[in-house]
């Protein structure tokens, strides 16, 4: 009788697959590396033709492992993700397909010194953004002092009038953030965008590290890589610290839209790692200005909701009336202060791509400091001068919708056809507030193991920061997203991006 063993099965499948796709001859890593030609711009691993010192131990290790082993690990990594259910769902033609988030086994390395600057920059930025959100939903000094034009805020679809004047615990709005950074040709880090609503991907960051540990235990234990896996514990203690009720064991929950959401894996992962219930809207009910969940024991009061649902779906009474994902009456409870919502409602006004252009001004205004990490130069298209300049240089620009994410609704000027460019010009002229333009920046590259070869691919970096009453903690590392298509600068998972484990090495 056939008796497949449980754990080993993963490896068996991997071994059944043909291992050599392109390299019938057993090529050594040295040869692979000799073939590697860094693309134009900043390469993370190579400085000209020599390997940067931080990467040297990894390179030596890879060379010692040999090509076969790397091929095998590459296949195993995919199987590991699949068997653990680490998947996201892609929707096309009404049918959801589960995919793994492609993972590249060669880590991306950032030195401790570089990281210190990133950390300081993000900390400063988050402080300013928190102050901005408090200000904009209370006195609005920043508008009165003409730092940001009032019409820009008024025309932002995510400016939420309904939460004006609501006081949130510890005046904290952005508890969880994922601020995207890129590295330009000069090797400097730039802020690409702020994600202050429900940034996702942290489970992939942690999952990548677990896979690296399993596949390359000998590689990671000889390098002083900073630990990242206390993220769920930090998050848990922040959630509990926000409880409006002064009880010994406050009830914190994660609110998910359900199994059909593309980030569902992450929701279950975080619930498991924090040991808190994963609830859906239908599990919750509002009664007597409090939120309860329906349990086998009857109703139990909920104190803190880490929601993974956008604002407009949270409460059908106040926002979209046809949404069944949220909880009727939630906003009322929030206003009364009987429940904490994480991240706060209305944060979208601060990560609007047009408001982004004003974040350096916010830092100067609220903190009286100079920004540590620069923005990417941004053209606001309602300004006739900016617009004329952009229209003249369309092929050097990327146009982004101010309220789009996931790589949707954007135009890369260097790749677009004349029709597409004309179409965007017309859209911009009709609704200038809905678009911004930025010069195309050649993102830095890292070698990736693709089709049996090492080839340069563009990457960005999303570090995850947690703000609690006792300060801001930034997990040393983050998610390095890779644009897997050759020459592509779009790293979003919905656009065929992948990811890498990210090491901060001292």
Partner 1 sequence: MLSRSADSLFWLNRYIERAEGLLRTLHTSYVLSLDKGPYVNDSWTTILDIFSGFSDDEKRRVETTSAIIVEHILLDPSNPNSLRNILTRARENARSMQDHLTKEVWEQVNFMYHRINSNSIDAQLTSGNEIAVIESVLTNCLLYTGILESTMFRGMSWDFMNLGKYIERCLLSIDLMEKQITINDLSEEKDILYWRHLLFSLSGYEFHLKNYRSQDANQNVVHQVLLNDLFPRSVLYCLQHIDTYLGNIVQANDPADPTGLLRQFGRIKSSVAFADEHMIRQTGVPQYLSRLRSDLYAFSSTLGQTYFSYA
Binding region for partner 1 (CB under 8 A): 1-4, 6, 9, 82-85, 258-259, 264, 268, 271-272, 275-280, 282-283, 293-298
What are all long-range contacts of 364-370, with beta carbons under 8 Å and residues at least 24 apart? 365/128, 365/142, 365/145, 365/147, 366/127, 366/128, 366/131, 366/132, 366/135, 366/142, 367/124, 367/127, 367/128, 367/131, 369/124
Q: Let me know: does 70 contact 450? Beta carbons within 8 Å.
A: no
Quick check: 331 and 162 in contact, CB under 8 A?
A: yes
Q: Which is nearer to partner 1, 279 or 325 (CB)?
A: 279
CB nearer to partner 1: give 275 or 384: 275
**3-state DSSP assignment of residue 465:** strand
**In this structure, how many other beta carbons lie within 10 angstroms of the beta carbon of residue 426?**
10
271 vs 461 by CB, closer to partner 1: 271
Minimal distance, residue 375 CB to partner 1, in Å: 39
Question: Whole-number minimum distance, CB 302 to partner 1, in Å?
Answer: 11
CB of 235 to partner 1, least distance (A): 15
Taking the complex as a whole, the smallest distance from the CB of residue 2 to partner 1 amounts, in Å, to: 5
**Which lies closer to partner 1 via its Cβ, residue 82 or residue 376?**
82
Contact 302, 291 (CB under 8 A): yes
Q: Which is nearer to partner 1, 279 or 398 (CB)?
A: 279
Q: How far apart are CA 447 and CA 107, in angstroms?
A: 9
Closer residue to partner 1 in complex, CB, 219/240: 240
Contact, 181 vs 193, CB < 8 A?
no
Q: How far is the CB of 275 from partner 1 (least distance, A)?
A: 8
- Output the smallest distance, CB 276 to partner 1, in A: 8
Tell me the β-bridge partners of 194. 179
Smallest gap from Cβ 296 to partner 1, in A, equals 4
**Residue nearer to partner 1 on the CB measure, 38 or 316:** 316
Least gap, CB of 282 to partner 1 (angstroms) = 5
Query: Smallest Cα–Cα separation from 203: which of 408, 7, 493, 504?
Result: 493
Would you say 264 or 424 has its CB closer to partner 1? 264
CA-nearest of 173, 156, 105, 180 to 373 is: 180
Instruction: Tell me whether residue 64 or residue 259 sits nearer to partner 1 (CB atom).
Output: 259
The DSSP secondary structure of 48-86, one letter per residue, reads TTEEPGGGHHHHHHHHHH-HHHHHHHHHHHHHHHHHTT-
Query: Tell me, what DSSP letter sits at residue 38?
Result: P
Tokens representing 325?
A: 């994902």
Q: Give the shortest CB-200-to-partner 1 separation in angstroms.
A: 17
CB nearer partner 1, residue 149 or residue 258: 258
Residues 6+ apart with CB under 8 A from 65: 29
Give the DSSP letter string of 113-155: HHHHHHHHHHHHHHHHHHHHHHHHTTT-HHHHTTSS-HHHHHT
- Least separation in angstroms between residue 269's CB and partner 1 is 8
> Are 245 and 303 contacting, i.e. CB atoms less than 8 angstroms apart?
yes
| Cα–Cα distance, 284 to 290 (Å, whole number) | 10
Which uninterrupted H or E stretch holds 238?
helix 231-241
Helix (H/G/I), strand (E/B), else coil: 331: helix
- Min dist CB 71 to partner 1, Å, is 21
Rounded Cα gap, residues 282 and 286, in angstroms: 11
Task: Rank residues 128 and 278 by Cβ distance to partner 1 and give the closer one.
Answer: 278
């Amino acid at each position: 009788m056939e008796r497949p063993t449980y754990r080993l099965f993963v490896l068996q499948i991997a071994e059944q697959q043909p291992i050599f796709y392109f390299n019938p001859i057993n090529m050594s890593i040295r040869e692979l590396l000799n073939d590697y030609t860094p693309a134009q711009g900043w390469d993370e691993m190579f400085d000209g033709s020599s390997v940067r010192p931080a990467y040297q131990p990894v390179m030596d290790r890879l060379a010692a492992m040999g090509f076969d082993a790397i091929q095998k690990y590459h296949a195993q990594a995919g199987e590991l993700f699949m068997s653990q259910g680490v998947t996201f769902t892609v929707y096309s033609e009404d049918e959801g397909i589960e995919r793994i988030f492609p993972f590249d086994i060669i880590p991306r390395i950032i030195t401790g010194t570089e990281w210190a600057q990133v950390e300081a920059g993000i900390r400063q930025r988050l402080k300013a953004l928190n102050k901005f959100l408090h200000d904009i939903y209370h006195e609005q000094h920043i508008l009165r002092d003409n730092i940001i034009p009032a019409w820009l805020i008024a025309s932002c679809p995510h400016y939420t009038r309904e939460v004006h004047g609501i006081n949130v615990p510890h005046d904290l709005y952005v508890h969880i953030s994922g601020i995207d950074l890129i590295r330009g040709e000069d090797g400097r880090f730039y802020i690409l965008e702020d994600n202050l609503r429900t940034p996702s991907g942290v489970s992939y960051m942690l999952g990548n590290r677990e896979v690296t540990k399993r596949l390359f235990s000998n590689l990671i234990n000889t390098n002083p890589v900073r630990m990242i896996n206390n993220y769920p514990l930090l998050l848990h203690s922040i959630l509990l610290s926000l409880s409006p009720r002064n009880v010994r064991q406050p009830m914190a929950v994660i609110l998910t839209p359900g199994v059909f959401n593309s980030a569902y894996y992450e929701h279950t992962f975080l619930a498991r790692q924090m040991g808190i219930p994963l609830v859906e809207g239908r599990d919750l009910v509002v009664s007597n200005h409090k939120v309860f969940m329906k349990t086998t024991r009857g109703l139990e009061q909920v104190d803190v909701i880490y929601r993974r649902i956008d604002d407009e779906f949270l409460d059908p009474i106040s926002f979209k009336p046809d949404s069944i994902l949220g909880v009727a009456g939630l906003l009322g409870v929030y206003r009364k202060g009987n429940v904490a919502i994480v991240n706060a409602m209305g944060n979208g006004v601060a990560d609007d791509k047009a408001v982004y252009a004003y974040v350096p001004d916010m830092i100067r205004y609220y903190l009286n400091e100079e920004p540590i990490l620069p923005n990417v130069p941004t053209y606001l298209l309602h300004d006739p001068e900016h617009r004329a300049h952009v229209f003249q240089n369309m092929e050097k620009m990327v146009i982004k919708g101010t309220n789009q994410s996931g790589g949707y609704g954007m135009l890369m000027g260097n790749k677009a056809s004349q029709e597409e460019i004309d179409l965007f010009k017309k859209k911009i002229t009709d609704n200038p507030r809905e678009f911004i333009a930025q010069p195309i920046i050649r993102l830095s590259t890292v070698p990736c193991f693709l089709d049996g070869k090492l080839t340069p691919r563009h990457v960005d970096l999303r570090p995850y920061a947690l703000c609690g009453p006792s300060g801001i903690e930034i997990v040393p590392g983050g998610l390095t997203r890779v644009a897997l298509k050759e020459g592509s600068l779009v790293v979003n998972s919905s656009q065929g991006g992948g990811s890498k484990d990210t090491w901060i090495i001292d």
